[in-house]
A and B are shown apart, each in its own frame.
Chain A
Amino acid sequence: MRERVLEAHGLRKTYGSGATAVHALDGVDFALEAGEILVLLGPSGSGKSTLLNVVGGLDAPTAGTVRYRDHDLSQDDDEALTRYRREHVGFVFQFYNLVPSLTARENVQLVVDLVDDAMRPEEALGMVGLADRLDHFPSQLSGGEQQRVAIARAIAKRPDLLLCDEPTGALDGKTGRLVLEAIATVNRELGTTTALITHNAVIAAMGDRVVTMKDGGIASIVHNPTRADPAALDW
């Protein structure tokens, strides 16, 4: 069994209180293993994003513990969580969230400025196949290109964890595949532990493990004997 980079136990996240309380996470045990691609499946509202945000240090759980290696995140204040994100985590979101006033290169530069042994922006953008789009502003890029810039931005600092929340949710199949390929390339070449949310079961084939969530809990965990090449996926 591979090393567990991250471990969470008894995670609860409750929004609101009393009769209107929503349990987004209802006692979840969860782990990420070094170098794997983990796919999170599940219907909308099942708690996937909440889990990923907690794991990535964007959100604090109501109860439970999250350990990154030997570091207990659940005790961290905002400053420590910021440092954790800065040093270890790369995020990719459904709507890219690029800074519109910065070019592709500059968006990546944002991250490069923060850490010591980052890639050069050109290198990171090259990995996602955008070496020829360095000086374009987000408004001059297609959705798929924007998402690949977001991936380049996330991986430029060689993060330990790459967390992607429905990275293909806003893209058509062909473009989506390019994005998934970029993610697979990063995982393969840098060995980045990757968690990827999707509600598209076809995509699950590219993961080492597939975790299915339901109503704030984990319904099943499936090990794929072999990972599919994203280029071969069809939806």
Chain B
Amino acid sequence: MKALRRKLRRDLWRMRGQVITIILILASGLASYVCLAGAHRALTTSRDGYYARHGFPDVFVHLERAPQAVARALREIPGVAAVETRLVAPVSLRLPDRLRPPPGRAISVEPGGRAGGLVLRAGRFIEPGRDDEVLVLETFAHAAGLAPGDRLELVVSGQELRLRVAGLVLSPEWIFPAEIGAGDLSDFGVVWMSRDALAAATGKHGAFDDATFRLVPGADRRSVIEAIDRLLARWGGGGAYGRERQTSHRTVSGELEQLSVLATQVPAVFLLVAMFLLNVVLSRIVHLQREQLAVLRALGYTRRALALHVLGFASVIMVGGVVLGLALGRYLAGAIVGLYGQFFHFPVLEVALDRGLVGISVGVAVVAAGGGALTAAWRAIRLAPAEAMRPPSPARYRRGLLSRLGLARLAGPMGRMIVRDIERRPILTALSVTGVAFSVAIVILGRFSLDAVDHLMDVVFGRTMREDVAVMLARPVPARELGWFRHAPGVMAVEPMRTVPVRLRVEARSYDTAITAWPRAGRLRQVLDGRDRPVPLPADGVMLTALLGQRLGVGPGDLVMVERLEGAHDTFALPVTALVDDRIGMNAYMDLAALGRALGEEPQLSGVLLGVERGQRDRLLRALDRVPAVIAVIEPRSFREAFEAQSGQMMIVWTLIVVVFGSVIAVGVVFNTARVALSERSRDLATLRVLGYSRGEVATVLLGQLAVQVLLALPLGMVSGYLLASSLMATVDPEQFRFPILVSPVTYAFASLVVLGSAIATAIVVRVKLDRIDIVSALKARD
């Protein structure tokens, strides 16, 4: 057996280029699996552990205000295990170096901080009786440069509070601390303060306006939510909801779902390609060495020994792939989890290569390598010694469909060689084409979401929100207050805006959202439809997001019942006058005057949209800072810039990973098919050289065949990339985002370029090898 082992070692060495490229593809597949599945597990484990240890609630509700005594009634709802009541108020945080005070939430907390599942990260909890202390969400504190002991000024309900930071905390309710999208971390702050202090500021002594619930296992959540809503209707209940509508949970879960889809798709692509290449290469080896193998059989080696010999080749590739894949995957998982750590904040977030992950990787590698080697091993076993020793007879060709179509005649003898070779091996050709197509698809899969997000950003922050500054007010004010803004420094245009939290009801169906209204004639906001065309607000009635209309089962002409989730909780009917397929959220749009008529009140405004003169922004923001009614100041443009700066970095990392992965496949497939073709055809090519064809002309036969394969692969890759992208997109909650274009032309072009580039680089290597072919010895070679 020693001789056989030596032969194996020499074969491996001689074919090291092919061996290495297949190892790389297998390793990429395993690495992508370990990294994506590992990140998925790390995030899931951290989240679930965090939720369990710190009691993440099952149901949430916000209300106007209710006396503390109502809490007992809530606790008695069947299915409720625990209730926590609290005060939650919008807050505006005054930071010394920030012109635009970041908005956020102030949440009441019991002394000692047990409530709310807070995790202390620095400093200490608030001590009993310390109404001047505040706990700050650690991530915001870091971004804003706050530490325990620092002073912090904030405005709650128009009152300025001067507090001192007691400690920094994390909370399972704020793993992803933002209301909308991912902006800068310092753009949204969460603070916890003593109940008395917050009650004093909001005037809600002895009351609560927010509650969280934990349910007993197996409780019927739906009926609990209905009971809560019934109970709180008197108290301005804003509609109870489960975890799936809690912003932080929803964002983290959405991301986890995408990871799990990626963790099956991407590795599957790699492993299929690795399997295919191993099959091609090993079959070729067995074919080339059939004489040697026959001699070995004649010498008395058993079939088993020969099969093991072939499988040995595959197992070297398998071991190499597993070792490299696990190491690389472990590293990448760390990197990805680190990236997530910038957005999602857990007390502990660690990647561990658990036994299950390693076991699956090894299992998959065995299947891929074994599957790839099986037919070759089978052929080695079935080799009849006598047959293998017979002199070569020319490979069988015939005129195929393409030739009959006259295509080959156009191309001359060289073209005919290309066409007939493709025809003779349709399956092999199809598989190589598929392999290269996969690499196109992988690049598309890695990049398309950036396009989609970019487009969405443009639609929302560039074309829907056209104001320079949006000012949110703590509570609605009469429309005449607009006058103040008209005279604020630098203001060129002022438009009022109103949002009303509502529950829309049609028969048994209901949906909680907000009506957003501005004047029809206004120019600072516009709703865009599915083709990004502006849609005017109807003069009367409400325009719903098409999906919302669908959920409620209404269209233009139908009536929808509206219950206000603020103030008097009055109910009225509104005609639906239009549906619009806008991009984000489940919206209800109205003309401001029409909303006033429907509510039966003087037009009020809860926000102001401003067009600001160039260079006057800072003056305006300083002036707004002195207005207590202002709860938040939003600049769509700077939000977008911050987002783009951040996603720009992500994009570079992602693009790099995708390019590497895509190229690994493209190079692997092209190189291996080229090497096999080269070995099959070296005698033909040498013959052409003898006849007087130059190196370049001979190269066109081989490289032309590769070129045809790559060119066929491009459109196929685009289609499969699109399909992979859509299946990933299917995991995005359409109530949150509806992405318009799945894949942009730029991404298609980029993917094609990556693959073409890899193919050309590989072709150059093959060309060099081709030039080195020794004519005389190639002529002697037997096929």
The residues of A with any CB-CB pair to B shorter than 8 Å are 53, 58-59, 78-79, 82-83, 85-87, 89, 91, 93, 95, 97-102, 106-107, 109-111, 113-115, 137-139, 146, 153, 170
Contact = CB atoms under 8 A, between A and B. Distances in A.
A30 to B, nearest CB: 18
Interface of B: 391-398, 412-413, 416-417, 420-421, 424, 683-684, 686-695, 775-776, 779, 782
B683 A58 contact: no
B395 A114 contact: no
Contact of B421 (A53, A101, A139): A101
A113 B412 contact: yes
Nearest to A106: B413
B391 A170 contact: yes
A109 to B, nearest CB: 5
In the complex, the 10 A-B pairs of residues with the closest C-beta atoms, listed nearest first = A86-B692, A138-B394, A100-B394, A101-B420, A100-B395, A139-B396, A85-B692, A97-B687, A139-B394, A101-B397
Contacts of A93: 779
Name, among A95, A100, A102, the residue most crowded by chain B CB atoms within 10 Å (CB to CB).
A100
B692 A106 contact: no
Contacts of A107: 413
B775 A58 contact: yes
Contacts, number: 88
A114 B687 contact: no
A79 B692 CA distance: 10
A110 B396 contact: no
A58 B690 contact: yes
A146 B394 contact: yes
B394 A91 contact: no
Given A97-B779, A99-B417, A113-B413, A139 B693 contact: no
A53 B420 CA distance: 31
Contact of A59 (B391, B417, B686, B776): B776
Contacts of B416: 101-102, 106
Contact of A102 (B417, B686, B694, B779): B417
Contact of A114 (B421, B692, B779): B692
Contacts of A111: 691-692
Given A85-B691, A101-B424, A109-B413, A137 B776 contact: no
22 contacts: A82-B693, A85-B690, A86-B693, A87-B692, A89-B692, A97-B779, A98-B687, A99-B417, A99-B687, A100-B396, A100-B397, A101-B417, A101-B421, A101-B424, A102-B413, A106-B416, A107-B413, A109-B413, A110-B413, A110-B688, A137-B398, A139-B393
Given A53-B776, A99-B684, A106-B413, A137 B690 contact: no
A106 B420 CA distance: 12
A101 B689 CA distance: 16
A135 B775 CA distance: 28
Contacts of B392: 95
Nearest to A154: B691
Contact of B691 (A53, A83, A114): A114
Given A85-B692, A100-B394, 7 more contacts: A82-B692, A85-B691, A89-B692, A99-B413, A110-B413, A110-B688, A139-B394
A79 B694 CA distance: 7
A78 B413 CA distance: 23
A101 B687 CA distance: 13
Contacts of A86: 691-693
B688 to A, nearest CB: 7
Q: Which of A85, A91, A101 has the most CB of B within 10 A?
A: A101
A139 to B, nearest CB: 5
A139 B776 contact: no
Q: Interface centre among B396, B687, B693, B776, by most A CB within 10 Å?
A: B687
Nearest to A99: B684
A170 B392 CA distance: 11
A97 B683 contact: yes
B769 to A, nearest CB: 15
B688 A78 contact: no
B404 to A, nearest CB: 13
A139 B776 CA distance: 23
B691 A110 contact: yes
